[in-house]
Amino acid sequence: MFHLYLHFIVPALLVGIFYRNIWKVAYFIMISTMLVDIDHLLADPIYSPNRCSIGFHPLHQLWFIVLYVVLCFIPKTRFIGLGLSVHMVLDSIDCQITNGVWIS
């Protein structure tokens, strides 16, 4: 459950530190990127506490993660890229803590 909270806390910290003057827009966009987890609906079962998302779910593949990082460097897509990259980092850390691996 703490993992889920981090998906809201870490973007809030980033926005509070680096984008304080436009925090509402930046936070909304970064939180909206949690929709990337819609790919979990394709899995059977939909939720498995010991499953590593990275490398398993379609939108959590390494080549998508590279694209998410690239989006961070394009001004118009920066918040989308940051939100998706933070999400993937947190999911990867969860994989390490839960299963002892960084990627499935």
Cis peptide before 75 (omega within 30 of 0): no
Domain extent at residue 86 = 2-99
Check residue 23 and give its pLDDT.
96
Read off the pLDDT of residues 54-76 as tens digits, 9 standing for 90 and up.
999 999 999 999 999 999 999 99
Structure tokens at 66: 């590279």
- Cβ neighbors of 99 (< 8 A, separation 6 or more) are 50, 52
Is residue 62, in this structure, part of any structural domain at all? yes
Quote the tokens at residue 36: 């990337």
In a domain, 29, yes or no: yes
Would 104 be classed as within a structural domain?
Answer: no
Confidence of residue 49 (pLDDT cuts 50, 70, 90): confident
Cα distances (angstroms) measured from residue 46 to each of 38, 57, 63, 87? 10, 10, 23, 18
Would you state the pLDDT for residue 10? Answer: 96
DSSP-derived secondary structure letter, 33: G
Give the number of domains in the chain: 1
Q: What is the pLDDT of residue 101?
A: 77
Left (φ > 0), alpha (ψ -120 to 50) or beta: where does 61 sit?
A: beta
Indicate whether 95 belongs to any domain. yes
Task: Say if 27 falls within a structural domain.
Answer: yes
Mean pLDDT of 78-100: 93
pLDDT of residue 104: 67
- Chain-centroid distance, C-alpha 67: 13
* Residue 50 placed within a domain: yes
* Mean per-residue pLDDT, 25-38: 96
| pLDDT band for position 48 (cuts 50, 70, 90) | confident
In a domain, 46, yes or no: yes
